[in-house]
Structure 1
Amino acid sequence: MNARTARLLAWVLGGAAVVLTAVAIGLTAAAGTIGLGWGDLTVVMVLVFCTVGILIARRHPRNPIGWIFCASAVAYGLGSLARGYADYREAGAGSAGSLAEAAAAYATVSWIPAILVPAAYLPLLFPDGRLLTGRWRPVAWCGVLGVAGFFLTSLTKPGALEDFPTLANPYAIDSVVRAIGQGVSALMVLAVLVASPLSLILRFRRAGYEQRQQIKWLVWAGALAAATIAIGTVGYELLTPAVANAAIMLSVLGLPVATGIGILRHRLYDVDVVINRTIVYGALTVTLAAGYLGSVLLLQLLLRPVTQGSGPAVAVSTLAVAALFRPVRTRIQATVDRRFFRSRYDAARTLAAFGVRLRHELDLEALATDLRGVVYDTMQPTQVSLWLRTDDRNDFRTTDQ
């Protein structure tokens, strides 16, 4: 495929995804079912996936990851359209009709190609679009067969549709073979979802510096999404379903964004700073939240006989958390740097110590030696040369280490 054809095809897929989603929004609005559910936030998923997919496909047409993202956006859009049409028919006609039943059946299982294909193949192919070695080819084929089998067997599952409980599945096949096939295909997909991250780990161990930075972006986004999904699932009722769905969706959107940064190499080397800040502010949030809740409960117990309410306890706890923000952040930052970013931590300490010596040292030779040592300790070059200007403006002398 030449570059012109790749650009045209990428724009066609992206445009199709956007048009499908736009029509779906219109149908959903007409049915009066727009909200903050997972299915109703599909428009954001479509825009992010198709944008990243188009950018990757245009720049690297031989990398299948861009095309996977474009196809995933189309699947999201088609599923959203099917859901919107089924809702519209149910709300407007009182009964779905055969076409609406077919749309509802597809909408119920549309997440399978839209989510499972990127989830299975992104770790397997990232970042260059090729398998780690030829030995991983059976895993790739296992994913194709597993996802296709799971989609077809789920589409023909007998009984009421999960997303439309008032409708019976029009494609139902009540067969033991279908049930066994669904179980086998689910196990195949699960095996690929487990094997793909292992491929990424092995790729990271064999990679050079640049490819490791690319993989770090994907791992960071995956860890952030996993943590958000875990927290959102546990606190689903506490956060309200709408907020939990929105938080989970936004965290999942980090995966295509991180993939785009990694493959396109835009601000690639900022990943260490991003990881550092995520760890610091994540730990800071947990620490301050735990301290706030603990202090509120403790002060309520101590002040209840006097205040007969929780207002003073909340006020005092809020002030305490505000006062502790900066020192706690500084402490956590130092701990994270010392534990996970040791070279940066040692470099900062070396520069700070040199700054102290610089204020008190007067001997030029001693300063030159100190400066060469600082550069060597922080930058670790193969050779250090220092040019010193003498009394003669046109004369320089060089010292090496």
Structure 2
Amino acid sequence: LLLALIRSHPGTHIFDWWVGNATIVIDATVGTIVASRRPGNPVGWLLCLSGVAVSTSSFTSQYAIYALLARPGSLPAGEAMAWIAAWLLPIIIGTQLFYLLLFPTGRLPGRRWGWLAWLIVVFILMGMISSAFAPGAYLGSLGPIRNPLGIEGFTNIYKALLYAMAPLLQAAVAFSLFARLRGAVGVKRQQIKWIAYAAAIFAVGIVCNVINLAIDAPRWFEWAGTAYFTVAGTTIPISIGIAILRYRLFDIDLLINRTLVYGALTVTLIALYFGGIVVLQRVFVTLTGQKSTLAVVASTLLIAALFNPLRRRIQSFIDRLFYRRKYDAAKTLAAFSARLRKETDLDALRDDVVGVARRTVQPAHASLWLRPDPGPDARSAAIRQFGHDEE
């Protein structure tokens, strides 16, 4: 309701609130499910806390904007709400850092990472104090609203924490995940892959958001970038839920593969489409002196014709580059199938079967046992028995 009421204010960017509202719903939902299924894992409870902190921040910010900017004096305690919203941001950032640091087991990666946990606690406490007493206008969506409890000197501390310490802590948490991924095997490795995949998607969303802020982008690009950033912001809690609950855990490899293939395919087709339009329009202008819609039609037909061939080429390239073991196994099986049609020597065939199993499955030990030939009499009896059973 408050979000709808403050839309009329010129300083309100409605898309910025979508991210917060989506985070509230997803964090709270995933956190509740994880906490109910795995009550001993603090990650679920931290997700719930993150959802509560974001929802409180969203409500108090929207309340303050309506009470002090959109309709000044219409609601009481506007300055108090703005003050509460100001010091909630360090709690939100710190909570998110904590559940990533404890993921997926709910424990630190090791004793040597204890310093990072304490550093996050220090960041939360110092961030709350410095933001609560930073003088002047509040940072972020609160715009020109000023802090009535500001004390000189606290602004620089808060900015140093927000713009220097927070990125360093995020980098340290990301490094801890990378260190765990290197030493992880089996289920734990798949769990960390899920969060790494979500982090990569979210990083692309951050880049889109930075581009929107840095340049005067077209309106459609701003909408698309903000919509992507909103969706990308929900991938981390969703991936945490999937990883901890182990729902379709091993689908992550297929998901990463498909994302790489279709992401590269989309970029290539878009480049070909617009490049084709530009080139063909120049050709038409040179020949006829005017632009033609045939350029768009021809580019569309070109994209339709190239879709499957490009997809196969990109799939093969991705498999060779990132999934070499799978690619080599497929080639080995294809070569074995071709030899199998022509091979008549049983000993050679047996060696081939064992060799293929070793190269593709890579077992600790591989051997092949063939039942000895029972002789012609036993085979005839078996054939007669088979015919009798059919009758």
The question of a shared fold, defined as TM-score above 0.5 by the shorter chain, is answered with yes
Q: Matched residues in 2 for 1:294 and 1:241: separation?
A: 22
Match of 1:326 in 2: 308
Distance change (3 Å), C-alpha of 1:42 and 1:235? closer
1:165 aligns with 2:148: no
1:270-289 matches, cutoff 5 A: 270-289=251-270
Preserved CA contact (<8 Å) 2:6 2:66: yes
Preserved CA contact (<8 Å) 2:208 2:226: no
Match of 1:197 in 2: 174
Aligned AA (2:114)? R
Preserved CA contact (<8 Å) 2:181 2:192: yes
Stretches of structure 1 that go unaligned for 5 or more consecutive residues are 1-25, 396-401
1:53-91: per-residue Cα shift (whole Å, max 9, x none)?
122222322322111110010011112221332344358
1:185 aligns with 2:166: no
The Cα shift of 1:109 comes to 5.2
Match of 2:85 in 1: 107
1:370 aligns with 2:352: yes
Aligned AA (2:62)? G
Aligned length, in residue pairs: 367
1:146 aligns with 2:123: yes
The Cα shift of 1:307 comes to 6.0
Q: Matched residues in 2 for 1:370 and 1:251: separation?
A: 48
Stretches of structure 2 that go unaligned for 5 or more consecutive residues are 383-391
Identity value in percent: 37
Distance change (3 Å), C-alpha of 1:86 and 1:57? same
The Cα shift of 1:289 comes to 1.7
Q: Matched residues in 2 for 1:192 and 1:228: separation?
A: 20
Which moved further from structure 2: 302-311 or 88-97?
Answer: 88-97
Preserved CA contact (<8 Å) 2:343 2:349: yes
Larger radius of gyration: 2
Match of 2:281 in 1: 300
1:212-251 matches, cutoff 5 A: 212-235=189-212, 237-238=217-218, 239-251=220-232
1:64-143 matches, cutoff 5 A: 64-89=42-67, 93-95=71-73, 99-108=77-86, 110-118=88-96, 120-143=97-120
The Cα shift of 1:384 comes to 3.5
Distance change (3 Å), C-alpha of 1:30 and 1:334? same
Distance change (3 Å), C-alpha of 1:383 and 1:191? same
TM-score normalised per structure 2 = 0.84
Spell out structure 1 runs of 4+ moving beyond 6 A: none
Superposition RMSD on alpha carbons, in Å?
Answer: 2.8
The Cα shift of 1:148 comes to 2.5
Match of 1:385 in 2: 368
Aligned AA (1:137)? G
TM-score normalised per structure 1 = 0.82
Aligned AA (1:384)? S
1:347-362 matches, cutoff 5 A: 347-362=329-344
1:109-141: per-residue Cα shift (whole Å, max 9, x none)?
5443224431x2244222112112222212111
